[in-house]
Amino acid sequence: MKSLNLEVDKGEVLGVIGPNGAGKTVMLNILTGILPPAKGAVIFNGEDITDLSITKRCRKGIGRTFQVPRPFENMTVLENMMVGKAFGDNTSQNEAIDKATELAEQIGLYDKLLRFAGELGLLDRKRLEIGRSLASNPELLLFDEVAGGLTEAEADTIIDLVNMVKGQGIGVIWIEHVLKTMHEGTDRVLLMAEGRDVICGHPNEVIRSQECRDVYLGTCLI
């Protein structure tokens, strides 16, 4: 990461685009504490959390999904989300069950609560990733290509889920290559290249900008 500055407010969705190797996932790993920054600081709710562990950051309110869904395949949907709840705020089993059941209904997995995660199709795995991240009661969610590999109709489902998250006052940083989601599901878009922020602003302005053409889209603009 060379030089990156960004901020996101509660209830705001910040989309992040850029070519492969731009540093997008590295950025998420720094924000969650998997990687340390070479310089600079990570500030969350006015507090410097640069030296905090992954667990402490999660319990302060930072959750994430992964580009390739990582459920516990031999556990049910309910159990997967209970893990997220228990890990995120050290709650009781009954509270974890109640929260997981409530979230399953919100994300469209209520009818599959007792299905093993390994039996789910890709869209439902993506739903489960979002649900499990929500189970920890986050204030900020980091989404890593949650629409990747989905059909256009399925991507619309993800946009609806992100809007639901936004409606709960949760901030979202959303990395995505599916530009439809960036057009329709974000408040601002940040363009990254070579480990730095290039331009940030209204989705249409950024995606149609000369900077985006030069470093990301070439001549194929939407």
Position with higher pLDDT, 201 vs 4: 201
Nearest CA to 203 among 182, 174, 172?
182
The string of pLDDT tens digits covering residues 64-120 is: 999 889 899 999 999 998 887 766 566 677 888 888 899 999 999 999 999 999 999
Identify the structural domains of the chain with CATH numbers, from first to last: 1-61+139-222 (3.40.50.300), 73-137 (no CATH)
The string of pLDDT tens digits covering residues 133-146 is: 998 889 999 999 99
Could you give the CA distance from residue 28 to residue 111 in angstroms, rounded to a whole number? Answer: 32
Does residue 154 register a pLDDT over 80? yes
> So what's the pLDDT on residue 45?
94
Could you give the CA distance from residue 159 to residue 182 in angstroms, rounded to a whole number? Answer: 9
Amino acid identity for residue 121 in this structure: G
The answer to whether the predicted template modeling score (pTM) of the entire model surpasses 0.85 is: yes
Does residue 190 register a pLDDT over 70? yes
Within the chain, where are the H helices? 24-32, 54-60, 77-89, 93-107, 122-134, 152-167, 179-185, 203-207, 210-212
Does residue 220 register a pLDDT over 70? no
> So what's the pLDDT on residue 199?
94
> So what's the pLDDT on residue 87?
62
Token output for 123: 């869209």
Helix, strand, or coil here: 53?
Answer: coil
For 26, phi then psi, to 5°, come to -60, -40
> So what's the pLDDT on residue 70?
85
Sheet holding 140-144, edge to edge: 62-64, 140-144, 171-175, 13-17, 188-193, 196-201
Token output for 206: 């950024």
* pLDDT above 70: percentage of residues in the chain: 95
